[in-house]
Amino acid sequence: MLTLREDPPRTRYLKNDEWKKLAEELLAAEDRNLPASVTGRLRRYVIVQIGTMCRPDELCNLETTDVDFGNRVITIRDSKTHTSRTIPMSPRVYEALEEIFLVNQESWPNGTLVFPNSEGKKSKTYTFNLPFSKMIRKLGFRNLRRYDLRHTGATWLVKEGCNVFALQELMGHKNIATTRRYVHFDEHQRKTAMNSMSGRLNVAAKSNVKRTAA
């Protein structure tokens, strides 16, 4: 029986130079558009998606009651895995959400959604995707989708030393193999990881033994 070989999972994320260019364009777009428009809120949306690693549909469903500013956590309900999870807010995500709440309160006082469309109603898949894709094409980034903002947050977090099991919980993955896609250690990271054990091993080291060449 012929077995077809599966392509490796796709994991695209923003490099540092790409993020700098995108951030500059997001700021410029915000200045050119009305605060309540989707494009006017796009910068904050991008910050929150990268900073929480939420799926696009999870942000579309996010309600104001799911954001706990007091405890600085976001609760994701009825996610893809049919479970709820809480995500701590970093200072930058906290700030972006505060700004979003102010805009929403002024434009849709009775609204319950954190990221509604420009009419204050529930966003569709394409609501934030259209202006984002247009911006990406303008910047000339290849093969980058809005979903890759989630990949970006995960990859950045791993580079900062996040434990893979903690990352699994934050992303809402059922299978650790899915989370492992984001863990790619280079030679420097491997050496740093191994050298970090030296402090503990030193207690068993002998200082009076003469070193000889191997």
Phi, psi dihedrals of residue 49, rounded to the nearest 5°: -70, -40
Report the pLDDT value the prediction gives residue 212, as an integer from 0 to 100: 58
Report the pLDDT value the prediction gives residue 4, as an integer from 0 to 100: 40
Over 70: is that where the pLDDT of 193 sits?
no
Report the pLDDT value the prediction gives residue 160, as an integer from 0 to 100: 85
**Domains and their CATH numbers in the chain:** 16-146 (1.10.443.10)
3-state helix/strand/coil string of 20-79: HHHHHHHHHHHHHCCCCCHHHHHHHHHHHHHHHCCCHHHHHHCEHHHEECCCCEEEECCC
pLDDT (average), residues 67-73: 97
pLDDT (average), residues 61-84: 88
Report for 35-44, 71-80, 142-151: range of highest mean pLDDT: 35-44
16-32 helix and 125-139 helix, angle to the nearest 10 degrees: 110
pLDDT (average), residues 77-102: 88
The upper half-sphere exposure of residue 182, i.e. CA atoms within 13 Å in the direction of its Cβ, equals 31
Using pLDDT thresholds of 50, 70 and 90, give the confidence band for residue 207: low
Report the pLDDT value the prediction gives residue 186, as an integer from 0 to 100: 57
Using pLDDT thresholds of 50, 70 and 90, give the confidence band for residue 5: very low
Over 80: is that where the pLDDT of 192 sits?
no
pLDDT (average), residues 139-151: 93
Least confident of 15-19, 74-78, 90-94, 107-111: 74-78
Closest to 46 in 3D by CA, of 65, 71, 18: 18
pLDDT (average), residues 176-203: 74
| Rounded Cα gap, residues 71 and 74, in angstroms | 9
| Rounded Cα gap, residues 179 and 2, in angstroms | 29
| Rounded Cα gap, residues 126 and 75, in angstroms | 23
pLDDT (average), residues 56-80: 91
| Rounded Cα gap, residues 107 and 99, in angstroms | 13
Over 70: is that where the pLDDT of 2 sits?
no
